[in-house]
Amino acid sequence: MCLAIPALVKSIDGSVAEVEIGGVSRRASLLLTPEAMVGDYVLLHTGYAINVVNQEEAEETLRILEEMAQGAADEEEA
């Protein structure tokens, strides 16, 4: 019910954006995320962008998880 998927903002016309999800284009309302810009990813929920995906945070999370995976493997070998 609270499903939201990351969608790429391709173009913006007023409060409506053309977004792309897995190669499929659709219209999305930006009423809840007026700060969204072309090139951003937004979390799309029932036709509305509910948040802009923070790409730096996503990369940082993955970096931490990669370090953890490496650390856990090293510890096992030790």
Partner 1 sequence: MKFVDEFRRSELARGLIRSIQQHSTKRVRLMEFCGGHTVAIMKHGIRQLLPATIEMLSGPGCPVCVTDNADIDKAIALARIPGVILATFGDMIRVPGSRSSLQEVKADGSDVRIVYSTLDALQIARENPSRSVIFLGIGFETTAPTVAASVIQAEQEGMRNYYVISLHKLCPPVIKELLDSGEVKVSGLICPGHVSAIVGSRSWEFIARDYGIPCVVSGFEPLDILQCVYMLVLQIEQAESKVEIAYRRGVRPEGNQRALELMYQVFEPCSARWRGMGLVPDSGLRLSKAYQRFDAELAFEFDPGPAFEPKGCICGEVLRAVKTPRDCKLFGTVCTPASPVGPCMVSSEGSCAAYYIYGAAGE
* Interface pattern 9-28 for partner 1 (x via CB under 8 A): ------------xx------
Q: How far apart are the first and last CA of the chain?
A: 45
Please select the residue that binds partner 1; options are 17, 37, 50, 78, rule is CB under 8 A.
Answer: 50
Q: What is the dihedral of CA 12, 17, 21, 25, to 10 degrees?
A: -90
- Run of H or E residues at 29: strand 24-29
- Name the site residues for partner 1 (rule: CB under 8 A): 1-6, 8, 21-22, 29, 31-34, 41, 43, 45-48, 50-51, 53-55, 57-58, 60-62, 65-66, 68-73, 75-76
